[in-house]
Structure 1
């Protein structure tokens, strides 16, 4: 899974693809059907690549990519994001065993399910991640 160019931007819904850089920050393209390009200033906006995101675990943090792989391995079926908290939690126990249930909220699970549903059809989702630099 090569999701290095995909980012989440604080305060903006959905996911974005990093398409360029300018003097003040980065140029992003939304991954929804509108494909809107926007510019973000790094001094005022926080963003994180999907490869860097982790969730709280009981013993150690769990990488978002590992959760996406577990969903994919499970057949790619996800609950409706409008499902009740118990349904979402049961699903998350299957794909992210050992997550810290007191610090991972239903809103976090909804966001992860939404993100998965956005990227599951992308070619990047099927590509292998490049080997880390040594």
Structure 2
């Protein structure tokens, strides 16, 4: 599942797709039917990318993407408006090692609501894009070649810098000599 560029914005219902970034924040588009757009200012809005969200676990935190995968394979998903006991029972099935004291029923409702928004989208069924191993090796080699230039250009640069320093001192006004003390 590819949830990159899908964010939740605090204070705004639903999920948003980050379209582009500008100087002050991001231009977001809602994932609902209205496709409303808004500018989220980074200094005032708190955004969380879905592929980075975790849920409190008893031992380790559980990634939201893992929970979505388990919900996808589940036979029946309850409605997000169901009572808290039904939601908690379902969440025990899909995330058995979650911390029940720190994961509230409102969190479970939000996760199920997000799942219902995303389940029919094509990006929910496609694989997350990860860089290929061959590409990273080529990039590292290119970076190493740029970092270690040949000896000839390195010797030429200091000579030019020295000439520039001499030229600057010739243009500087000459200091007046202080009168001799008697």
Structure 2 CA distance for aligned equivalents of residues 50 and 21 of structure 1 = 17
**1:1-134 equivalence runs, <5 A:** 1-75=1-75, 77-131=76-130
1:22 deviation in Å? Answer: 1.6
Aligned to 2:171: none
| TM-score, normalised via structure 2 length | 0.71
Larger Rg: 2
Relative to its length, the structure with more strand (as a share) is 1
| TM-score, normalised via structure 1 length | 0.95
1:55 deviation in Å? Answer: 0.5
Aligned CA distance change for structure 1 residues 33 and 85 (closer, same or farther; 3 Å): same
Aligned CA distance change for structure 1 residues 52 and 132 (closer, same or farther; 3 Å): farther
Matched residue SS, 1:89: helix
Matched residue SS, 1:117: helix
Number of residue pairs matched? Answer: 133
1:67 deviation in Å? Answer: 0.3
Q: Cα deviations across residues 97-116 of structure 1 (Å, max 9, x unaligned)?
A: 10000000000000000000
Relative to its length, the structure with more helix (as a share) is 2
Q: For structure 2, list consecutive stretches of 5 or more residues without a partner in the other structure.
A: 137-182
Higher relative contact order (CA 8 A, sep 6+): 1
Structure 2 CA distance for aligned equivalents of residues 108 and 16 of structure 1 = 18
1:132 deviation in Å? Answer: 5.7
Structure 2 CA distance for aligned equivalents of residues 82 and 72 of structure 1 = 19
Structure 2 CA distance for aligned equivalents of residues 87 and 31 of structure 1 = 27
